Amino acid sequence: MVKSSAIVAAIIALVALAVTGVARLDSDLTGMIPAADVPLAREARFFSGMGAIRVLMVEAEVTSPSADPRTTLQSIVTRLAPLGAHPARDNGIEGVAHTMQVVAAHLPEFLTAEDLAETEAGMSAEALSQRLKDLRERLQRPDDWLTATAARQDVLSLTARVLQHFSVGPVGARPDGAFFTMPDGQHMVLRLDVDFPPDDVGRGQPLLAALKQEASIAASHGVHLRWAGSYRHYVENADTIQSDLMATIPLEVLLVGLVIWTLVRSWRAMLVIHLPVVGSVVGAMAGACVWSLVTGRPVPMAMIGATAGILGIAVDYGAHAVVGAQEGRRCVKQLLLGFLTTGAAFICLFFSLVPALQCLGAMVVTGLGTALLSTMLVPGGRIPPPRREPVWNRIGASTNRLLQRQRRSCLLIATIMTLATLPGLWRLHFESDIKTFDGSTAQAWDDLEVIIQRWGTPDSSTFIVAHGDSPDAALAAAAATRARLGLGPGLLERLVPDLAEQARRREAWNVFWTRHADFPAKFAEACRSNGLRPEAFAPSLAAYHVVTQSRDPITPESWTGSPISAALTPLLHRDGTGWIAASPLPLSGQAALDLMERLPGDSPGWIANRTDLGKRIVSAVQHDLTSLIPMIVAAVVIVMTLAVRAWRPAVAMLLPPALALVWAFGIQGWMGLPLTPFSLLAVTFVLGIGIDSAVFLNAGSWSMSAILVAWLTTLLGTATLLLANHPVVWSLGVSLSIGMTAAFVATLLVTPALSRPAASPAPPA
């Protein structure tokens, strides 16, 4: 009674922890970054704070002379607005007018020395007279409604001089309302800001579906549509994975079920075999939760993939436990040994500097531990043996006989295979192109390339980042870093110059107007000579004069209510420690990397480069994992040696998984398949099942049928992944299929050959 209560309590506690673990899942990239890699962690934190780029670019290309791309794009604006996508450029007249008002109120602070130098050329009496002559001519246009009003307020167009720097549209393109048009007139682009992040696939799917429908309609009107942005990649990846799962899971379940049925031939046994499976998933998530609570970090979302490997090993445990129970054996010792060796390997991950790998270690240890405990619940006497001897027993027996007879040949074959696959290891390389992990369509990448080539990147991926106790301190540090790199002011520095720079500009402004103290007189004369009334320009003359340094400076708040405000917020924001200024750089890829190289070490700011971040994270994780391999090998050898206390069985059990890894990766090397974090994940599977098979085979030939079935079910499960279209799922299928087959063959060839003959214990009476 007490025992049952304890088991129920343990199950409830595990389920509660697992549910909490699921609730603590997070896709934050910082969980994938080694704690010691401070710059990389800082960069990931920065981009995490900035949020994903919420931009969707839609290009309309004219394919028929009568086509009207503007109408097509206008229709898209209307169609997508209820779905959360809106034109990014607020060119509404109120937005433009508001922006002009902010600039006009702070002309001395916005105009740079270069701007004033350019203005200087128009300050002569002749130049002023020509300007007013042009103005008068312009006023003759009957459809000109606002020029006269605007000219009275700023006759030298200083506001326009400042505003020209705020244009962030594609180079060479002409703004046209919410759109940009190329000079060829054949291409227009619409930049949409989306209300939700790209990983909200549930909202992204209808958005993309609507775009697809609009593309069909547009095609019939002679307009070809292309669109690009993270939203497309997220949705297409989700769609691909969904269709892959639909294509593989039913087939996998059917095949695996059939094979297990041929082994146990009992519904009760079929159910019982899955006890460790359920236990492993609950245990893995509970382990992730405990790790999360201890470290205070969220559970990295990517680690959920590890449950597939844990699940496979748990099926292996279940098959051995049930077959043993049917034969009246208890195989706790073998299961425990398998768990201890696999667990020892993964406990080493606790020493990893990558939080996600630590979490993986916790998940595997607790997941397999729970699976092992679940096998204890298998009711030995209540699972009847199959009425007819399973075909696997006969296959197992004949395989055993063959292996026992051909021990030397087996070892020879294993040696030949090792020698043949070893050179493949030197051909192995880590995948450096992160694009290959993406399951988007080729069309998505083609469209992205065309759009980037024609219009530039959808948004800045590279920033100069600077921190400060106040917005001004952060801005000053960013500006200083730009100066160190020989770069002029960027959009951020133009929108909100730091206070010292504003003071310098006021000084330059005052020098300028002191030098042009005769401007009112000269201007009045120019007005009279052109038949204009000088007194009507009083607002301009009131603005063009020397100012005091105590004026209100430009601050982020100056832009409140204008369309600039929304663009400014991510560029100047607070985090837990202070203010962050992010000055966008119009660079990406290699150019951004080159600039990072050039940045002096003592610069107050640093460079964040989003395009390269994924690649560097993968590289850091791989480096960390590689550095742990000696420790993992040592741990497994020590546990095995301590457990069996004899070198021959220890080697018989350890050599097969080791050889399996060499063969698997060697074959991958020969096949030209690169290593990925996902193929490294497959190692967990290969190691776990390889060790289990070797442990059981070393215990005796009685478990051969379970080993055969465990291998076949796993192989069928992983081979169905080869039907997948998603590159990650497919590469996992390839790695697992090769690895599992290698583990199975290595176990068959090596373990019986090195084990003592007739190690099989007699079944109890």
Partner 1 sequence: MSPVCPLLLLILAQLAVAAQPEPVTTILERVATAAKQVGALRVTFQQEKHLAILDEPLITTGSIEIDRVNGLLRWQYDRGPVLILAAGRVKRWGADGKAESAGDDPALQAMAGQMKALTSGDWKPLQELFTMEVGHGPDHLLLRPRGVGMTAYIEYVEIAFRTDGSPNTLVLAAPGGDRTTYTFAMPDPAWKPDPSRFAGP
Under rule CB under 8 A, residue 539 binds partner 1:
yes
Q: What is the 3-state secondary structure (H, E, C) of 401-422?
A: HHHHHCHHHHHHHHHHHHHHHH
222 sits in which H/E element: none
Nearer to partner 1, 136 or 203 (CB): 136
**What is the full DSSP assignment across 586-609?**
S--HHHHHHHHHHS-TT-SSEEEE
List the one residue out of 24, 35, 32, 17 whose CA is nearest residue 613.
32
* Minimum CB–partner distance for residue 179 and partner 1 (Å): 8
Under rule CB under 8 A, residue 97 binds partner 1:
yes
> Phi and psi (nearest 5°) for 57?
-100, 130
Under rule CB under 8 A, residue 684 binds partner 1:
no
* Identified binder of partner 1 from the candidate list 48, 74, 205, 243, rule CB under 8 A: 74
Q: Which stretch binds partner 1 (CB under 8 A): 6-14, 137-145, 314-322, 724-732?
A: 137-145
* Identified binder of partner 1 from the candidate list 4, 5, 66, 149, rule CB under 8 A: 149
Give the CA angle between residues 459, 465, 468 to the nearest 5°: 135
608 forms beta bridges with 463
* Minimum CB–partner distance for residue 526 and partner 1 (Å): 12
Cβ atoms of 170 and 189 within 8 Å: the answer is: yes
Under rule CB under 8 A, residue 165 binds partner 1:
no
Cβ atoms of 703 and 697 within 8 Å: the answer is: yes
Give the CA angle between residues 19, 288, 373 to the nearest 5°: 85
Q: Which stretch binds partner 1 (CB under 8 A): 111-119, 527-535, 685-693, 747-755?
A: 527-535
Under rule CB under 8 A, residue 183 binds partner 1:
no
Cα–Cα distance for residue pair 491/497, rounded to 1 Å: 10
Under rule CB under 8 A, residue 101 binds partner 1:
yes
Cβ atoms of 692 and 314 within 8 Å: the answer is: no
**What is the full DSSP assignment across 450-506?**
HHHHHH--SS--EEEEEEESSHHHHHHHHHHHHHHTT----HHHHHS--HHHHHHHH
Under rule CB under 8 A, residue 39 binds partner 1:
no
* Identified binder of partner 1 from the candidate list 4, 66, 140, 550, rule CB under 8 A: 140
Under rule CB under 8 A, residue 64 binds partner 1:
no
Under rule CB under 8 A, residue 93 binds partner 1:
yes
Under rule CB under 8 A, residue 536 binds partner 1:
yes
* Identified binder of partner 1 from the candidate list 455, 519, 537, 711, rule CB under 8 A: 537
List the one residue out of 662, 664, 657, 666 whose CA is nearest residue 637.
657
Under rule CB under 8 A, residue 552 binds partner 1:
no
Task: Give 430's DSSP letter.
Answer: B
* Minimum CB–partner distance for residue 57 and partner 1 (Å): 19
The CA dihedral of 704, 708, 714, 718, to the nearest 10 degrees, is 140
Under rule CB under 8 A, residue 147 binds partner 1:
yes
Q: Residues 254, 256, 260, 266: is their CA dihedral positive or negative?
A: negative
Under rule CB under 8 A, residue 181 binds partner 1:
yes
466 forms beta bridges with 581
Q: Which stretch binds partner 1 (CB under 8 A): 12-20, 86-94, 273-281, 408-416?
A: 86-94
Neighbouring C-beta atoms of residue 417, cutoff 10 Å: 19
* Identified binder of partner 1 from the candidate list 30, 99, 457, 703, rule CB under 8 A: 99
Under rule CB under 8 A, residue 344 binds partner 1:
no
* Minimum CB–partner distance for residue 189 and partner 1 (Å): 13
* Minimum CB–partner distance for residue 143 and partner 1 (Å): 5
- Three-state DSSP class for residue 675: strand
Under rule CB under 8 A, residue 762 binds partner 1:
no
* Identified binder of partner 1 from the candidate list 39, 122, 172, 175, rule CB under 8 A: 175
* Identified binder of partner 1 from the candidate list 144, 184, 195, 446, rule CB under 8 A: 144
* Identified binder of partner 1 from the candidate list 26, 28, 176, 507, rule CB under 8 A: 176
* Minimum CB–partner distance for residue 97 and partner 1 (Å): 3
* Identified binder of partner 1 from the candidate list 18, 29, 58, 98, rule CB under 8 A: 98
* Identified binder of partner 1 from the candidate list 13, 38, 51, 71, rule CB under 8 A: 71
Distance of CA 378 to the CA centre of its chain: 41
Left (φ > 0), alpha (ψ -120 to 50) or beta: where does 56 sit?
Answer: beta
Nearer to partner 1, 98 or 467 (CB): 98
Cα–Cα distance for residue pair 376/385, rounded to 1 Å: 18
Under rule CB under 8 A, residue 79 binds partner 1:
no
Sequence-distant (≥ 6) Cβ neighbours of residue 689 within 8 angstroms: 312, 313, 316, 710, 711, 714, 740, 743
Nearer to partner 1, 70 or 504 (CB): 70
The structure tokens listed for 326 are: 């049917």
Q: Which stretch binds partner 1 (CB under 8 A): 96-104, 123-131, 227-235, 506-514?
A: 96-104
Distances (CA, A) of 265 to 329, 557, 586, 706, 714: 18, 74, 66, 13, 19
* Minimum CB–partner distance for residue 145 and partner 1 (Å): 5
Under rule CB under 8 A, residue 138 binds partner 1:
no
Cα–Cα distance for residue pair 599/482, rounded to 1 Å: 9
Under rule CB under 8 A, residue 305 binds partner 1:
no
Sequence-distant (≥ 6) Cβ neighbours of residue 591 within 8 angstroms: none
* Minimum CB–partner distance for residue 240 and partner 1 (Å): 38
Nearer to partner 1, 74 or 619 (CB): 74
Q: Which stretch binds partner 1 (CB under 8 A): 22-30, 468-476, 533-541, 683-691?
A: 533-541
* 299-300 vs 25-26, strand pairing mode: parallel
Under rule CB under 8 A, residue 565 binds partner 1:
no
- Amino acid in position 527: C
As to burial, measured by CB atoms within 10 angstroms (0-12 exposed, 13-18 middle, 19+ buried), residue 144 is exposed
Under rule CB under 8 A, residue 143 binds partner 1:
yes
Q: Which stretch binds partner 1 (CB under 8 A): 91-99, 190-198, 245-253, 309-317?
A: 91-99
* Identified binder of partner 1 from the candidate list 70, 86, 516, 615, rule CB under 8 A: 70
Taking residues 201 to 240 in sequence order and writing x for each that binds partner 1 by CB under 8 A, - otherwise, the string is ----------------------------------------
* Identified binder of partner 1 from the candidate list 42, 133, 152, 203, rule CB under 8 A: 152
Q: How many of the chain's residues bind partner 1 (CB under 8 A)? A: 46
* Identified binder of partner 1 from the candidate list 11, 96, 219, 336, rule CB under 8 A: 96
**Footprint of partner 1 (CB under 8 A):** 68, 70-71, 74, 91-101, 104, 136, 139-153, 174-177, 181, 527, 531-533, 536-537, 539, 561-562
